[in-house]
Amino acid sequence: MSVREMLENREREILSEKAARSSESKGRVRSENSCEIRTDFQRDRDRIIHSKAFRRLKHKTQVFISPMGDHYRTRLTHTLEVAQIARTIARSLCLNEDLTEAIALGHDLGHTPFGHMGERVLNEICPTGFKHNEQSLRVVDVLEGGGGLNLTYEVRDGIVCHTGAKRADTLEGRIVAVADKIAYVNHDIDDSIRGGLLSENDIPKEFSDVLGNRHSARIDTMIKAAISGSEHDIVMEHDIVMEPDIYDAMMGLRQFLFDNVYLNKNAEVATEEDKAKNIIEGLYSRFVNDIDLIPADARNNSRTDDNSIIAMDYIAGMSDPFAIARYEELFIPKFWVN
């Protein structure tokens, strides 16, 4: 018996009957021989971690564009926090941690530079529109490595369904959708306080009384509410839910962030976002009109002749510093020295 087969047997023995089992996966688009030492979900996790798209997340904005400070979240640290929260919930509910982790690590691979502002701009200017969850699926299916990562159905489904109206087919995918909200609601408050946009006293008492008065306390409350709220629903409804009062407080806190941080930036932050918006618009227009400015391998990876999609893929894959560097290369004159 191989190591992989022993791990698959362990899944059958210890996981909930509602858990997704790697040996029962719906499979990959292109068939492959199984690994001797890793389950299919472990293999997917490893492919995501070793991908270039994953490494680029370290230089992509979460909320604050190019913050001066080591402790602000990036898209990579957000992804790691989601994975930690999701694994804790999955472990407590006897669900598949490997599948949960793979989905969490891949859920934001398609996110743009400059955070959600970048996503909004591409959605406005691209004829096909743009959604980062759909782009994340496109990264793992098409763009990464010149042909995609050929992940299992369950991981792909969890990635594209981590946000939006459509729910993931697996409980593990639904855990990631909840963990994503828990992570960004809490760390965006933490970063907003660090950046001086909020203070702890600004958080409405109706939410802090329910969730807690500290960053760690709020995360702890939400995770426990997701575990306790789901224990019954996994059996009866095949779903992941939070206890209603905690969920309502979390969503109230999320709306508070929209009203006071995401959509109500101070003048300095708004100015920097306008600059980033100009970068994305300028790059997109230039690339669509002169597609040869995009490297040949990037053009080929898109597997299409549509310049707008090729430009969208290329820009969405950029880190913040790379987008700035390309803009400077194409739009900022260089000094001529004799």
Domain count of the fold of the chain: 1
How buried is 32 (Cβ within 10 angstroms: 0-12 exposed, 13-18 middle, 19+ buried)? exposed
Helix (H) or strand (E) holding 190: helix 171-194
DSSP label at residue 36:
S
For residue 257, the model assigns a pLDDT of 92
Per the domain annotation, does 282 fall within a domain?
no
For residue 68, the model assigns a pLDDT of 60
Per the domain annotation, does 7 fall within a domain?
no
Nearest Cα to Cα of residue 150 among 53, 32, 316, 52? 32
DSSP secondary structure letters along 204-259: -HHHHHHH-SSHHHHHHHHHHHHHHHHHHHHHHTS-----HHHHHHHHHHHHHHII
Q: Which residues of the chain have pLDDT under 50?
A: none
Helix (H) or strand (E) holding 300: helix 296-301
Per the domain annotation, does 15 fall within a domain?
no
Per the domain annotation, does 329 fall within a domain?
no
Distance CA 124, CA 128 (A): 9
Per the domain annotation, does 286 fall within a domain?
no
For residue 267, the model assigns a pLDDT of 63
Model pTM score = 0.95
Per the domain annotation, does 335 fall within a domain?
no
Q: Rounded to whole angstroms, what are the CA distances from 42 to 37, 98, 171, 190, 237?
A: 9, 6, 17, 32, 27
For residue 170, the model assigns a pLDDT of 97
Look up residue 111 and give its amino acid. H
Look-up: residue for tokens 């597997």?
A: 303
Per the domain annotation, does 140 fall within a domain?
yes
104: containing domain = 40-113+123-274
CATH number for the domain spanning 160: value is 1.10.3210.10
In the three-class reduction of DSSP (H, G, I as helix; E, B as strand; rest coil), residue 28 is classed as strand
